[in-house]
Amino acid sequence: MTAAPPLPRTADSGEPPKDRSISAHYGARSLISKLVVHLCVVFGVLLSIFPFYWLVVMSTSTTAEIFGYPPKLTFGDSFLENLRNVVQSVDMLQALTNTVIVSGACALLVMLFDSLAAFAFAKFDFPGKNALFILLIATMLVPGSLSLVPSFILMSEIGWVGTLQALIVPGAANAFGIFLLRQMAAGSIPDELVESARIDGAGFFTTYWRVAVPLLRGGLAFLGIFTFIGAWNDYVWPLIVLVNPERQTLQTALQNLNSLYLTDYGMVMAGALISVVPLIGVFIIGSRHFIANIAAGAIKG
Protein backbone atom coordinates (compact mmCIF):
# COMPACT_ATOMS: atom_id res chain seq x y z
CA MET A 1 0.00 0.00 0.00
CA THR A 2 1.59 3.21 -1.17
CA ALA A 3 1.37 6.53 0.71
CA ALA A 4 -0.56 9.46 -0.77
CA PRO A 5 1.59 11.95 -2.63
CA PRO A 6 2.33 15.11 -0.66
CA LEU A 7 0.61 18.36 -1.52
CA PRO A 8 2.55 20.58 -3.89
CA ARG A 9 4.58 23.24 -2.19
CA THR A 10 5.68 26.55 -3.50
CA ALA A 11 9.33 27.11 -4.17
CA ASP A 12 9.67 30.19 -1.97
CA SER A 13 7.66 29.54 1.21
CA GLY A 14 7.38 25.77 1.37
CA GLU A 15 3.65 26.01 2.29
CA PRO A 16 0.85 24.20 0.55
CA PRO A 17 -1.29 26.51 -1.64
CA LYS A 18 -4.31 26.07 0.61
CA ASP A 19 -2.40 27.02 3.79
CA ARG A 20 -0.88 29.97 2.00
CA SER A 21 -4.27 31.26 0.91
CA ILE A 22 -5.57 30.96 4.48
CA SER A 23 -2.56 32.91 5.78
CA ALA A 24 -3.13 35.60 3.17
CA HIS A 25 -6.81 35.76 4.11
CA TYR A 26 -6.09 36.25 7.82
CA GLY A 27 -3.30 38.70 7.01
CA ALA A 28 -5.73 40.82 4.99
CA ARG A 29 -8.29 40.72 7.80
CA SER A 30 -5.61 41.76 10.31
CA LEU A 31 -4.58 44.64 8.05
CA ILE A 32 -8.19 45.78 7.70
CA SER A 33 -8.78 45.60 11.46
CA LYS A 34 -5.62 47.66 12.13
CA LEU A 35 -6.74 50.21 9.55
CA VAL A 36 -10.17 50.48 11.19
CA VAL A 37 -8.58 50.94 14.62
CA HIS A 38 -6.27 53.67 13.34
CA LEU A 39 -9.15 55.44 11.62
CA CYS A 40 -11.17 55.34 14.84
CA VAL A 41 -8.21 56.75 16.80
CA VAL A 42 -7.71 59.54 14.25
CA PHE A 43 -11.42 60.34 14.32
CA GLY A 44 -11.41 60.44 18.13
CA VAL A 45 -8.38 62.75 18.18
CA LEU A 46 -9.94 65.11 15.63
CA LEU A 47 -13.21 65.09 17.56
CA SER A 48 -11.35 65.99 20.76
CA ILE A 49 -9.29 68.74 19.14
CA PHE A 50 -12.16 70.37 17.27
CA PRO A 51 -13.61 72.33 20.26
CA PHE A 52 -10.22 73.93 20.88
CA TYR A 53 -9.84 74.67 17.16
CA TRP A 54 -13.31 76.21 17.11
CA LEU A 55 -12.37 78.35 20.12
CA VAL A 56 -9.33 79.67 18.24
CA VAL A 57 -11.45 80.37 15.16
CA MET A 58 -14.02 82.33 17.18
CA SER A 59 -11.31 84.27 19.03
CA THR A 60 -10.02 85.52 15.68
CA SER A 61 -13.46 86.48 14.37
CA THR A 62 -16.03 89.19 14.97
CA THR A 63 -19.45 88.57 16.50
CA ALA A 64 -21.09 88.81 13.06
CA GLU A 65 -18.70 86.22 11.63
CA ILE A 66 -19.30 83.87 14.58
CA PHE A 67 -23.07 83.88 14.04
CA GLY A 68 -22.80 83.84 10.24
CA TYR A 69 -24.31 81.03 8.19
CA PRO A 70 -22.77 78.79 7.03
CA PRO A 71 -20.37 78.75 9.98
CA LYS A 72 -16.91 80.05 9.27
CA LEU A 73 -14.28 77.37 9.88
CA THR A 74 -11.20 79.38 8.91
CA PHE A 75 -9.22 81.83 11.00
CA GLY A 76 -10.20 85.48 10.92
CA ASP A 77 -8.10 88.63 11.20
CA SER A 78 -9.64 90.16 14.35
CA PHE A 79 -7.58 88.43 17.03
CA LEU A 80 -5.41 91.42 17.91
CA GLU A 81 -8.48 93.65 18.10
CA ASN A 82 -10.30 91.15 20.32
CA LEU A 83 -7.23 90.78 22.52
CA ARG A 84 -6.91 94.55 22.87
CA ASN A 85 -10.58 94.78 23.87
CA VAL A 86 -10.05 92.11 26.53
CA VAL A 87 -7.08 93.94 28.04
CA GLN A 88 -9.00 97.22 28.04
CA SER A 89 -12.10 95.67 29.65
CA VAL A 90 -10.51 93.75 32.52
CA ASP A 91 -7.17 93.68 34.31
CA MET A 92 -6.02 90.39 32.78
CA LEU A 93 -2.46 90.58 34.12
CA GLN A 94 -3.61 90.92 37.73
CA ALA A 95 -6.29 88.25 37.31
CA LEU A 96 -3.78 85.89 35.68
CA THR A 97 -1.27 86.48 38.49
CA ASN A 98 -3.90 85.79 41.17
CA THR A 99 -4.98 82.61 39.39
CA VAL A 100 -1.41 81.32 39.07
CA ILE A 101 -0.79 81.97 42.78
CA VAL A 102 -3.99 80.26 43.89
CA SER A 103 -3.69 77.27 41.52
CA GLY A 104 0.01 76.71 42.22
CA ALA A 105 -0.41 76.98 45.99
CA CYS A 106 -3.40 74.62 46.00
CA ALA A 107 -1.54 72.05 43.87
CA LEU A 108 1.58 72.11 46.06
CA LEU A 109 -0.35 71.95 49.34
CA VAL A 110 -2.61 69.15 48.12
CA MET A 111 0.37 67.09 46.97
CA LEU A 112 2.10 67.64 50.33
CA PHE A 113 -0.76 67.05 52.76
CA ASP A 114 -2.51 64.32 50.77
CA SER A 115 0.69 62.34 50.31
CA LEU A 116 1.55 62.64 54.02
CA ALA A 117 -1.90 61.41 55.03
CA ALA A 118 -1.90 58.67 52.39
CA PHE A 119 1.51 57.40 53.53
CA ALA A 120 0.35 57.30 57.14
CA PHE A 121 -2.87 55.46 56.25
CA ALA A 122 -1.06 52.94 54.04
CA LYS A 123 2.03 52.05 56.08
CA PHE A 124 1.41 52.92 59.74
CA ASP A 125 -1.02 51.68 62.37
CA PHE A 126 -2.65 54.05 64.83
CA PRO A 127 -5.84 53.99 66.93
CA GLY A 128 -9.02 54.60 64.90
CA LYS A 129 -7.23 54.26 61.57
CA ASN A 130 -9.97 52.32 59.76
CA ALA A 131 -12.83 54.40 61.18
CA LEU A 132 -11.07 57.63 60.27
CA PHE A 133 -10.42 56.43 56.73
CA ILE A 134 -14.07 55.40 56.29
CA LEU A 135 -15.16 58.81 57.55
CA LEU A 136 -12.77 60.43 55.09
CA ILE A 137 -14.21 58.45 52.18
CA ALA A 138 -17.75 59.33 53.32
CA THR A 139 -16.99 63.03 52.87
CA MET A 140 -16.63 62.37 49.13
CA LEU A 141 -20.37 61.63 49.03
CA VAL A 142 -21.27 65.14 50.22
CA PRO A 143 -21.89 67.62 47.36
CA GLY A 144 -19.48 70.52 47.39
CA SER A 145 -22.30 73.05 47.05
CA LEU A 146 -23.49 72.21 50.58
CA SER A 147 -20.28 73.61 52.06
CA LEU A 148 -20.46 77.00 50.33
CA VAL A 149 -22.49 78.79 53.02
CA PRO A 150 -20.61 77.32 56.04
CA SER A 151 -17.30 78.02 54.32
CA PHE A 152 -18.26 81.63 53.62
CA ILE A 153 -19.35 82.14 57.24
CA LEU A 154 -16.04 80.69 58.44
CA MET A 155 -14.05 82.92 56.09
CA SER A 156 -16.05 85.92 57.29
CA GLU A 157 -15.40 85.11 60.95
CA ILE A 158 -11.64 84.96 60.48
CA GLY A 159 -11.57 88.00 58.17
CA TRP A 160 -10.49 86.28 54.98
CA VAL A 161 -13.37 87.37 52.73
CA GLY A 162 -11.90 89.12 49.70
CA THR A 163 -8.43 87.57 50.12
CA LEU A 164 -6.65 84.80 48.24
CA GLN A 165 -6.23 82.81 51.46
CA ALA A 166 -9.93 82.04 51.28
CA LEU A 167 -9.26 80.16 48.04
CA ILE A 168 -6.00 78.47 49.00
CA VAL A 169 -6.55 77.16 52.55
CA PRO A 170 -9.91 75.38 52.00
CA GLY A 171 -8.40 73.63 48.97
CA ALA A 172 -5.16 72.59 50.68
CA ALA A 173 -6.28 68.95 51.03
CA ASN A 174 -9.04 66.71 49.71
CA ALA A 175 -10.35 63.23 50.30
CA PHE A 176 -9.95 62.16 46.68
CA GLY A 177 -6.21 62.78 46.69
CA ILE A 178 -5.70 60.96 49.99
CA PHE A 179 -7.68 57.97 48.74
CA LEU A 180 -5.81 57.88 45.42
CA LEU A 181 -2.34 58.10 46.92
CA ARG A 182 -3.20 55.72 49.75
CA GLN A 183 -4.14 53.04 47.22
CA MET A 184 -0.93 53.67 45.31
CA ALA A 185 1.21 53.66 48.45
CA ALA A 186 -0.29 50.39 49.65
CA GLY A 187 0.76 48.65 46.45
CA SER A 188 3.95 50.42 45.39
CA ILE A 189 5.81 51.00 48.67
CA PRO A 190 7.21 47.71 50.04
CA ASP A 191 6.96 47.25 53.79
CA GLU A 192 10.58 46.12 53.76
CA LEU A 193 11.74 49.58 52.68
CA VAL A 194 9.80 51.25 55.48
CA GLU A 195 11.20 48.78 58.03
CA SER A 196 14.73 49.28 56.72
CA ALA A 197 14.36 53.04 57.11
CA ARG A 198 13.16 52.56 60.68
CA ILE A 199 16.11 50.30 61.49
CA ASP A 200 18.47 52.93 60.08
CA GLY A 201 16.97 55.45 62.47
CA ALA A 202 14.89 57.45 60.00
CA GLY A 203 11.85 59.21 61.39
CA PHE A 204 8.45 59.58 59.77
CA PHE A 205 9.26 62.62 57.65
CA THR A 206 12.64 61.26 56.54
CA THR A 207 11.03 57.98 55.51
CA TYR A 208 8.27 59.89 53.73
CA TRP A 209 10.70 62.09 51.80
CA ARG A 210 13.29 59.44 50.89
CA VAL A 211 11.05 56.39 50.41
CA ALA A 212 7.46 57.40 49.70
CA VAL A 213 7.88 60.49 47.51
CA PRO A 214 10.12 58.86 44.85
CA LEU A 215 7.76 55.89 44.55
CA LEU A 216 4.63 58.07 44.42
CA ARG A 217 5.98 60.52 41.86
CA GLY A 218 3.58 59.42 39.13
CA GLY A 219 0.54 59.74 41.37
CA LEU A 220 1.75 63.09 42.68
CA ALA A 221 2.14 64.37 39.12
CA PHE A 222 -1.40 63.34 38.27
CA LEU A 223 -2.81 64.80 41.48
CA GLY A 224 -0.90 68.05 40.95
CA ILE A 225 -2.23 68.45 37.40
CA PHE A 226 -5.76 67.54 38.48
CA THR A 227 -5.72 70.00 41.38
CA PHE A 228 -4.13 72.81 39.37
CA ILE A 229 -6.70 72.54 36.61
CA GLY A 230 -9.56 72.35 39.11
CA ALA A 231 -8.38 75.45 41.00
CA TRP A 232 -7.72 77.29 37.74
CA ASN A 233 -11.24 76.63 36.42
CA ASP A 234 -13.03 77.21 39.73
CA TYR A 235 -15.70 79.86 39.30
CA VAL A 236 -18.45 79.62 41.93
CA TRP A 237 -16.37 79.86 45.14
CA PRO A 238 -14.14 82.75 43.90
CA LEU A 239 -17.25 84.57 42.71
CA ILE A 240 -18.74 84.32 46.22
CA VAL A 241 -15.74 85.08 48.40
CA LEU A 242 -13.70 87.52 46.30
CA VAL A 243 -15.56 90.80 46.76
CA ASN A 244 -12.48 92.90 45.98
CA PRO A 245 -12.10 93.48 42.18
CA GLU A 246 -8.31 93.62 42.57
CA ARG A 247 -8.34 90.05 43.93
CA GLN A 248 -10.36 88.51 41.13
CA THR A 249 -9.20 85.32 39.49
CA LEU A 250 -9.20 84.76 35.76
CA GLN A 251 -12.59 83.03 35.62
CA THR A 252 -14.38 85.71 37.64
CA ALA A 253 -12.69 88.45 35.60
CA LEU A 254 -13.82 86.90 32.33
CA GLN A 255 -17.46 87.05 33.39
CA ASN A 256 -17.13 90.85 33.36
CA LEU A 257 -16.74 90.64 29.58
CA ASN A 258 -20.43 89.72 29.26
CA SER A 259 -22.56 92.79 28.76
CA LEU A 260 -26.22 93.09 29.77
CA TYR A 261 -27.45 94.18 26.34
CA LEU A 262 -24.68 93.51 23.82
CA THR A 263 -21.88 90.96 24.13
CA ASP A 264 -18.79 90.95 21.94
CA TYR A 265 -18.39 87.20 21.58
CA GLY A 266 -15.10 87.53 19.72
CA MET A 267 -13.68 89.34 22.73
CA VAL A 268 -15.15 86.75 25.11
CA MET A 269 -13.62 83.89 23.11
CA ALA A 270 -10.25 85.66 23.06
CA GLY A 271 -10.40 85.89 26.85
CA ALA A 272 -11.35 82.22 27.08
CA LEU A 273 -8.40 81.32 24.87
CA ILE A 274 -6.05 83.21 27.20
CA SER A 275 -7.37 81.16 30.12
CA VAL A 276 -6.97 77.84 28.30
CA VAL A 277 -3.45 78.16 26.86
CA PRO A 278 -1.60 78.04 30.25
CA LEU A 279 -3.47 74.85 31.17
CA ILE A 280 -2.20 73.15 28.03
CA GLY A 281 1.37 74.05 28.99
CA VAL A 282 0.90 72.75 32.53
CA PHE A 283 -0.57 69.50 31.25
CA ILE A 284 2.27 68.96 28.76
CA ILE A 285 4.94 69.59 31.41
CA GLY A 286 3.26 67.53 34.14
CA SER A 287 2.14 64.66 31.94
CA ARG A 288 5.75 63.94 30.94
CA HIS A 289 6.58 62.97 34.53
CA PHE A 290 3.32 61.09 34.91
CA ILE A 291 3.77 59.03 31.73
CA ALA A 292 7.48 58.45 32.42
CA ASN A 293 6.73 56.93 35.83
CA ILE A 294 3.97 54.75 34.40
CA ALA A 295 6.38 53.47 31.74
CA ALA A 296 9.08 52.85 34.33
CA GLY A 297 6.64 50.88 36.50
CA ALA A 298 5.54 48.82 33.51
CA ILE A 299 9.15 47.97 32.63
CA LYS A 300 9.95 46.98 36.21
CA GLY A 301 6.83 44.83 36.37
Q: Which amino acid is at 121?
A: F
pTM for this entry: 0.80
Distance (Å, whole) CA 246 – CA 218: 36
Interval 216-233: pLDDT, tens: 888 898 899 889 999 998
Does pLDDT of 64 surpass 50? yes
What torsion do the CA atoms of 266, 272, 274, 279 make, to the nearest 10 degrees? -150
Whether residue 70 is preceded by a cis peptide bond, meaning omega within 30 degrees of 0, is yes
Nearest to 237 by CA among 172, 141, 161: 161
What is the overall mean pLDDT for the chain? 82
For 86-142, what is each residue's pLDDT tens digit?
888 888 888 889 999 999 999 999 999 999 999 999 988 888 888 999 999 998 888
Q: What was the pLDDT predicted at 61?
A: 85
| Average pLDDT estimate for 24-46 | 80
Q: Helix 129-138 and helix 175-188: axis angle, to 10°?
A: 130
Out of 92-101, 103-112, 191-200, 287-296, give the one with best mean pLDDT. 103-112
Residue 280, judged by CB atoms within 10 A of its CB (0-12, 13-18, 19+), counts as exposed
Structural domains of the chain in order of their starting residue, each with its CATH number: 97-257 (1.10.3720.10)
Report how far residue 46's alpha carbon sits from residue 105's, in angstroms, rounded to the nearest whole number: 34
Predicted pLDDT of residue 297: 45
Angle between helices 92-123 and 175-188 (to 10 degrees): 50
Q: What is the pLDDT of residue 35?
A: 86
